[in-house]
Structure 1
Amino acid sequence: MRALHATLAAIGLSALVMSSAQALTVVKLLGGIYLIWLGVTTWRSTRQGVEPTARRRWRSPWARLGGFGQGLWSNVLNPKAASVHLTLVPQFLTSSRPVAPQIATLATAHVAVVLVWLLFWTSVVAAARAATDTPRFRRGTSRLAGAVLVALGVRTATAS
């Protein structure tokens, strides 16, 4: 996902979104709507006592990608993730060399650091799963996550 934002920054699309108020508003609204959709579907899944992915009638085009697809779209539709590459990356670039290979190198380093970080937390979460693997805990977590996603979606869509 970081690599996608790095690619968008390298081809100038991130700069376009960040410099155009209309484009930024569209990305922000799409991100808010997506978060609200995730929150509502997560919340609704608890009423049936069924996991969110098990009872969907309508599936998003990226549903077959599972958690990866959700993470990808959450990141792509987050204008703040694009702004990271526009605010932090330029200070590490040298104007005398081609920009795209430099961005690719920085993106590779960023992906490596994030990969190590996420692998660490995956191990921690896997160890904690045994203590939290109950239907009651899952139902409560899904309701809380659904409410938080809806609140974040409304906040994202209405932020100025």
Structure 2
Amino acid sequence: MVHPYAVAGFLVAVLPLIATPGASLALLVQHVTDGGRRQALPVILGTVTGLYIHATLAVAGLSALVMRSSLAFTAVKLIGAAYLIGLGIWTWRSAAPDAAPAPHRQRLPKGSDSVYAQALLANVLNPKAAAIYLTLVPQFIAPHRPFGGQILTLATAHALLVALWLAAWTFLILRASHALHTPRFQQAAAKATSAVLITLGIRSAVT
């Protein structure tokens, strides 16, 4: 079991990383703008599932292997970057004014399963999320206690904080519901989301 002070310290340390706009927030804005509050849940669940996957890999030592191998780390980083850029391009194309009536154009999937998968992959394929569990988490666990339970506790606290953060953003987005359903706003939100995703992908690939 992790000491409550350690959990609190971890949350304080990870809060600036959560507050930094990323792929999860970009996807949340896009899908809540398009589909309403129901689309927030799969984004939150996908992001939280990704955190637990990183925590599990950290316990198993697989993430450490990726971080120690420059080739493996680069491969994961480039795959994640390609996914974000591709998702950004797809979102941009779906924002085109003539995208809806054109039957030959593909649109960004809006089903709950596909939204969940997008958020999950955006988190899992982010090596910086894995780095949290390899560099930050060890600072808050006791070496004489089993790692698994401690990492799971910190991951759960992390997941709850992320869920609350995204839920708060969902509330703020829905407060502007009078503007959400206008075509101009939806196109602007989709293009802003795509720009964020592409920028994150490029940054991930070159850093």
Fold-level similarity (TM above 0.5): yes
Map of 1:69 onto structure 2 = 117
Inter-partner Cα distance in structure 2 for 1:146 and 1:112 = 27
Q: 2:199 pairs with 115, 135, 151, which one?
A: 151
Q: 1:151 to 1:105 in 2, by over 3 A?
A: closer
Higher mean displacement: 110-119 or 35-44: 110-119
Do the aligned residues in 1 keep the contact of 2:91 with 2:108 (CA within 8 Å)?
no
Map of 2:153 onto structure 1 = 105
Deviation at 1:103, TM superposition (A): 0.9
TM-score, structure 1 normalization:
0.84
Give structure 2 stretches of 5+ with no counterpart.
Answer: 1-49
Deviation at 1:58, TM superposition (A): 9.8
Q: Does 2:164 align with 1:119?
A: no
Inter-partner Cα distance in structure 1 for 2:147 and 2:123 = 23
Give structure 1 stretches of 5+ with no counterpart.
Answer: none
> Structure 1: which 4+ aligned runs deviate by more than 6 Å?
none
Q: 1:151 to 1:113 in 2, by over 3 A?
A: closer
Root-mean-square deviation over aligned CA pairs:
2.3
Map of 1:23 onto structure 2 = 72
Q: Does 2:126 align with 1:78?
A: yes
Report % sequence identity. 49
TM-score, structure 2 normalization:
0.66
Inter-partner Cα distance in structure 2 for 1:117 and 1:143 = 23
Do the aligned residues in 1 keep the contact of 2:81 with 2:205 (CA within 8 Å)?
yes
Q: 1:66 to 1:81 in 2, by over 3 A?
A: same
Do the aligned residues in 2 keep the contact of 1:31 with 1:78 (CA within 8 Å)?
yes
Do the aligned residues in 2 keep the contact of 1:49 with 1:139 (CA within 8 Å)?
no
Count of aligned pairs:
153
Q: 1:68 to 1:91 in 2, by over 3 A?
A: same
State the SS of the aligned residue for 1:31.
Answer: helix
Deviation at 1:12, TM superposition (A): 0.8
Higher mean displacement: 69-78 or 118-127: 118-127
Q: 1:129 to 1:64 in 2, by over 3 A?
A: closer
